[in-house]
Structure 1
Amino acid sequence: MPTMSLSGSEPRAPLPALIQIDGLQKHYRTRSGESVQALGPIDLTIDRGEFITVVGPSGCGKSTLLKMLAGLIPRTSGTIRVNGQAIDGPQRDIGVVFQSPVLLPWKTTFDNVMLPATVLKLDREATGARARQLLDMVGLADFANRYPNELSGGMQQRVAIARALVHDPAVLLMDEPFGALDAMTRETMNVEIRRIWRESGKTVLFVTHSIPEAVFLGSRVLVLSSRPGCIAEIVDVELPAQRDLDVMTTERFGSYTRRIRQHFQARGFIE
C-alpha cells in the first residue's frame, strides 16, 4: 500500500530493496578448459538496515557471493543492484572487511582508518572527524596513535571495521572477520559488531562457518547448499534486537542452530 507524503498531496511508493540479486551465477574455467559452476542461481532481496548472515559448507561459494557483491570479481550471469544501481565493479557505497584486517604496519590506527580518504580523494578534515567518531564507537579512541603491532587481534579487526565505515557506505560486507580470533575474543566481537550495526544503521552481510555465530548476529540466516551454492533456506531469527551472550543458552536459540545444522548433517557435513 503506498504511503502518503507529509503534505498529503500524493502517495509515495515504498522504498525499493537496498540489494536486489536476480539469477546470480558464477562459473570458473579450469586449466583444461572445463567450466565449473561455483554458485547459483541465487535470488535474494535485502532491505535497508538488515543484518544477514551466510553459512554453508566449505567451497559452497560464500566468499564468492561476497566478492561479487563487492564488485571485486565478475559474475557469470544474473544481476546485482545496490540502491537500484547495477554492480559492475568496486563501489563507493560498499565497505568490505576480510578475515585478515590488512593494516599497514607503518601507519597509526588513525592513519589506517583514513586510508579510504586518500584512495577516494575525500575531504580530509570531514573524514578525519568521522574517523575519530568511529574510533570512539569501536572503543579505540585512546589507541588512535598506536601502531598495529601494539594492538590485539580483536583491536586490529575493530580498526578494519572503522576503516570500512569511514566513507559512510550503505552496505558493509564481512567475510569471516573473526575466524582467526580466539574463542573469547570472538564472542566479545560478536557482541560488539551487533552494537556497531545498531549504532551505525548500516546494512550488513556477514559470512561465517559458525552456525551459532550466524544465529547470534543475524536478523536472517542465509543457508547455502554444497557446490554449486544455492539457497537451501532463509531462516528468520526472532531474537531480541539487543542481544547478549546469554541468549545462546535459550531454547529458541538452540532450535535455530539445530534447524540450520540439519541441512549439513543430512549431507555428511559438520560445523
Structure 2
Amino acid sequence: MDLLTVSGLGLAERGRVVLAPLSFGQRAGQRLALAGESGAGKSTLLQLIAGLVQPSSGTVHVAGRRVRGPAEVLVAGHPGVAYLSQRSELPQHLRVEQVLRYAQARPAADAPALFALCRIDHLLANRTDQLSGGEQQRVALARLLLGPRSCCCSTSPSRTSTAPTSASSAPCSTM
C-alpha cells in the first residue's frame, strides 16, 4: 500500500487550469523530487497534498486517510503531512532549543543526530529572531522532522543544504 496516493488531483482558478489533473503513488521510504519551470505548479501541488489549498478535482490520501482541503475542515492541513514553505515562520524571541523541544514527538535520543544533520547543533542557545534566513530554514526543517508526521513536503529543499532533504516530498520516517 502507498503512503501517499494522489488521484486525479487538479486545480483551476477563474476558469484557468493551474494544475492539470495528475495521479501517482509513493510508498513509505521513497523520495520524490518535483522539477519544472517557475510557475509550473510544483508548490501548488505540494500545498494541495498538504491540504492547504482546496483542489478543484481529485483526492489525496496519506496512509489511507483522505486529506481534506480548507473548504472542508476548520483548520487547513493534515496531521500526517508536514509542509515546509519558503518562509520558515518560526516563533520569534524563543531560543532554538525551546522551539525544537515544543515540537518534539520523536525520542529525545534522536534529536542530537537530527540537529547535526540539519547543521543547527551550534544554534540551540540562539534566539530565532537572531538567525539568518538559511539558519531559520534549517531550524524549521528540524522542527518539521521532529514532529509526528509521516510525509514531509518542502517547496525549496535546496535552501536547507542538507543531503537527505534534496527531494521535494519524502516520508519523515526515513529521517
- Structure-2-length-normalised TM-score: 0.79
SS at match of 2:33: strand
Is residue 2:1 matched to residue 1:22?
no
1:106 aligns with 2:115: no
Q: Kindly, what percent of the aligned residue pairs are identical?
A: 27
1:82 maps to which residue? Answer: 62
The one-letter amino acid of 1:23's match is G
Alignment deviations for residues 75-106 of structure 1 (CA, whole Å, 9 cap, x no partner): 11111111111110411211111112222231
1:228 aligns with none
1:61 aligns with 41
Listed as ranges, the matches of 1:1-271 within 5 Å are 16-29=1-14, 35-89=15-69, 90-116=77-103, 129=108, 132-133=111-112, 134-179=114-159, 189-191=161-163, 193=165, 201=174
Larger Rg: 1
Give secondary structure in 2 for the equivalent of 1:45: strand
**1:52 aligns to what SS in structure 2?**
coil
Counterpart contact for 1:110–1:132, Cα < 8 Å: no
After TM superposition, give the deviation of residue 201 of structure 1 in Å: 0.7
CA contact (8 A) 1:95 1:172 kept: yes
> Kindly tell me: are residues 143 and 61 of structure 1, through their superposed partners in 2, closer, same or farther at Cα, counting changes over 3 Å?
same
| Structure 2 contact 96–127 (Cα < 8 Å) conserved | yes
- Any stretches of 5+ residues in structure 1 without a counterpart? 1-15, 30-34, 118-125, 180-185, 203-271
How many residues end up aligned between the 2 structures? 164
How far apart are the structure 1 equivalents of 2:11 and 2:23?
13
CA separation in 1, counterparts of 2:171 and 2:130? 28
Q: Aligned equivalents of 2:158 and 2:133: distance in 1?
A: 9
- Please give the TM-score of this superposition, normalised by the length of structure 1: 0.53
Moved more, 72-81 or 95-104: 95-104
Runs (5+) with no aligned partner, structure 2: 70-76
